[in-house]
Amino acid sequence: MIKGTFLDEISHDIPHQNWGRKEWDEDFRHMKQIGIEMVILIRSGYRKWITYSSDVLIKEMGAYQPSIDLVKLFLELSEKYGMLFYFGLYDSGKYWTTGQYEKEVEINKAVIDEVWARYGQYKAFKGWYISQEISRKTNEIVSLYASLGHYCKSVSGGLTTMISPYIDGVKNISQYTSKTSRPNCVSLDQHKKDWDDIFKGIKGAVDIVAFQDGHVEYDELIDFLRINKEIAEANGLECWTNTETFDRDMPIKFLPIKWEKLRLKLELAKQAGIENAITFEFSHFMSPQSAYLQAGHLYNRYQEYVREQSEKQTVICEADKP
């Protein structure tokens, strides 16, 4: 089921919980408890806000000096709890969104060098997350992914690389409008064509693709999941799902998802043959210590479900015995 979660500590849109080391330690314990084995720092920085005291980003981007080294903290906790840590690249919030792809690559190469030199010795450091999230194909994004993926691998001895794109569906809508859906969106065919092209271009540079599962109607999801898996595997990528644990259908953007919706999405992924899920994200939307108390109840519902599933599994295995 859910084996990984993002850590959204430089957030675009989710209000911050203001946790210290004590709360983070407790949260890793909660994650472990429900089977989460990997954590993915969603981005190491966004514009001027950064997760570690980066000489590169302070000098080149004028980033603000953070008061805590979150990369170190998360690596230490990953080692303490036996989790894999994926490092999310820097998102300038300006270069790649205004056509300056090369600058986005260049600043990230310096970040990758710096981070690997500083944190590469941690055993928990197991992969890279390319944080520039996209939905539709452009030639530039393909080469951005390819350049960054290859560079991560070349520096780190071939560690795993991951992306988590979204589908340009009915719920792909700015979090800064109050609407929750829109009329025009990508067709299944166009999505397939776009992503088949992208995968061809990033093959070898990116190992895992985990599409966000919240931008299409629940009804449409199964078809997209199947297509995603088909074209990813045809191009040699592993296909996971990023099963979102927040609710995109509500006027408050964003609170924890209704358990029935999460359950449906997990079962659709299973039906599509997708075995691995990560989620965006545990600490706000699923944690017993989340500021959103609905999250703790979601944690309980999910645990009951996992238990129920594993009991079913046991029964099936028993039945299989000669």
Number of residues that bind a copy of itself (CB under 8 A): 49
CA dist 86 and 135 (Å) reads: 22
Which of positions 3-42 make contact with a copy of itself (CB under 8 A)? 11, 13-20, 23
164 contact partners, CB below 8 Å, separation of at least 6: 129, 133, 209, 210, 211, 212, 242, 278, 280
The DSSP output letter for 59 is: H
Instruction: Please tell me whether residue 256 binds a copy of itself under the rule CB under 8 A.
Output: yes
Whether 211 and 172 have beta carbons less than 8 Å apart is answered as no
Task: State which of residues 186, 208, 272, 298 lies at the interface with a copy of itself (CB under 8 A).
Answer: 298
Instruction: Please tell me whether residue 311 binds a copy of itself under the rule CB under 8 A.
Output: no
- Residue 126 or residue 297: which is nearer to a copy of itself going by CB? 297
Give me the helix-helix angle, 139-156 and 188-202, nearest 10°.
Answer: 40
- Residue 19 or residue 122: which is nearer to a copy of itself going by CB? 19
317 contact partners, CB below 8 Å, separation of at least 6: none
Nearest to 85 by CA among 93, 96, 77: 77
Binding segment for a copy of itself among 34-42, 98-106, 153-161, 255-263 (CB under 8 A)? 255-263
Task: State which of residues 254, 266, 280, 281 lies at the interface with a copy of itself (CB under 8 A).
Answer: 254
Which of positions 57-116 make contact with a copy of itself (CB under 8 A)? 62, 64, 66-67
- Residue 46 or residue 240: which is nearer to a copy of itself going by CB? 46
Task: State which of residues 3, 136, 150, 297 lies at the interface with a copy of itself (CB under 8 A).
Answer: 297
Task: State which of residues 260, 273, 311, 314 lies at the interface with a copy of itself (CB under 8 A).
Answer: 260
Q: Does residue 254 have a cis bond before it (omega within 30 degrees)?
A: yes
Binding segment for a copy of itself among 121-129, 205-213, 223-231, 247-255 (CB under 8 A)? 247-255
Measured from the CB of residue 277, what is the shortest distance to a copy of itself in angstroms? Answer: 18
104 contact partners, CB below 8 Å, separation of at least 6: 92, 95, 96, 132, 144
Instruction: Please tell me whether residue 276 binds a copy of itself under the rule CB under 8 A.
Output: no
CA dist 186 and 135 (Å) reads: 10
Site residues (CB under 8 A) for a copy of itself?
Answer: 11, 13-20, 23, 48-49, 62, 64, 66-67, 175-180, 218-219, 247, 250-260, 263-264, 290-294, 297-298, 300-301, 304-305
